[in-house]
Structure 1
Amino acid sequence: MQEEKSPFVVDSDWLQERLGDSDLRVVDAAWYLPAHKRDPQAEYAAGHIPGAVFLDHDAISDATSGLPHTLASPDVFAASVGALGISEKNIIVVYDGPGFFSAPRAWWMFRVMGARDVYVLDGGLDGWKSEGRAVTTDVTAVLPAVFVPTFDETAVTSFHAMSSIVEKGSRQIADARSLGRFTGEEAEPRAGMRSGHMPGARSLPAGGFAADGRFKSLPELRKLVADAGIDLDKPVVTSCGSGITAAIITLALQSLGHTDNTLYDGSWSEWGSRAETAIATGKP
Structure 2
Amino acid sequence: MNFPLVTTDWLADNLTRKDLVLLDASMVTVIGREPIVYDRPVFIPGARKFDLEGDFCDLSSPMVHAFPTEEQFTREARKLGINADSTVIIYDNQGVYSSPRAWWMFQAMGHENTFVVDGGLPKWLAEKRETVSSLVQEQAESGNIRGVFHSGMVCDSSCLLKELEAVRVAAVDARSSERFFGTAPEPREGVRSGHIPGSRNLPFSQVLDEHTFKSAEQLKAVFARTLPVDSERTVFSCGSGITACIILMAAVIAGYKNNVLYDGSWADWGSNPSLPVTTSE
- Relative to the length of structure 1, the TM-score reads 0.90
Deviation of 1:172 after TM superposition, in Å, equals 0.4
Partner Cα separation in structure 1 for residue 231 and residue 194 of structure 2: 27
Residue number in structure 2 paired with 1:131: 127
Match of 1:137, SS state, is coil
Residue correspondence of structure 1 range 107-118 to structure 2 within 5 A? 107-118=103-114
Q: Unaligned stretches of 5+ in structure 2?
A: none
> Is residue 57–residue 69 contact of structure 1 (8 Å, CA) maintained in 2?
yes
Residue number in structure 1 paired with 2:143: 145
Aligned pair partner of 2:248 in 244, 247, 250: 250
What is the percentage of aligned positions where both structures have the same residue?
A: 34
**1:122-179 Cα deviation digits (max 9, x unpaired):** 1110111111011112442523212111221110112211122345555200111111
> Is residue 88–residue 147 contact of structure 1 (8 Å, CA) maintained in 2?
yes
Residue number in structure 2 paired with 1:58: 53
> Is residue 28–residue 53 contact of structure 1 (8 Å, CA) maintained in 2?
yes
Partner Cα separation in structure 2 for residue 123 and residue 216 of structure 1: 11
Deviation of 1:37 after TM superposition, in Å, equals 7.8
Residue number in structure 2 paired with 1:121: 117
Partner Cα separation in structure 2 for residue 38 and residue 257 of structure 1: 29
Q: Which amino acid aligns with 1:56?
A: D
Deviation of 1:39 after TM superposition, in Å, equals 9.3
Deviation of 1:38 after TM superposition, in Å, equals 5.7
> Is residue 44–residue 54 contact of structure 1 (8 Å, CA) maintained in 2?
no
C-alpha RMSD of matched pairs (Å): 2.2
Deviation of 1:192 after TM superposition, in Å, equals 3.0
> Is residue 61–residue 70 contact of structure 1 (8 Å, CA) maintained in 2?
yes
Aligned pair partner of 1:21 in 10, 17, 35: 17
Aligned pair partner of 2:42 in 40, 47, 52: 47
> Is residue 91–residue 117 contact of structure 2 (8 Å, CA) maintained in 1?
yes
Residue number in structure 1 paired with 2:258: 260
Deviation of 1:254 after TM superposition, in Å, equals 1.7
Match of 2:116, SS state, is strand
Residue correspondence of structure 1 range 173-252 to structure 2 within 5 A? 173-231=171-229, 233-252=231-250
Partner Cα separation in structure 2 for residue 280 and residue 117 of structure 1: 39
Partner Cα separation in structure 1 for residue 42 and residue 91 of structure 2: 13
Partner Cα separation in structure 2 for residue 255 and residue 37 of structure 1: 25
> Is residue 232–residue 258 contact of structure 1 (8 Å, CA) maintained in 2?
no
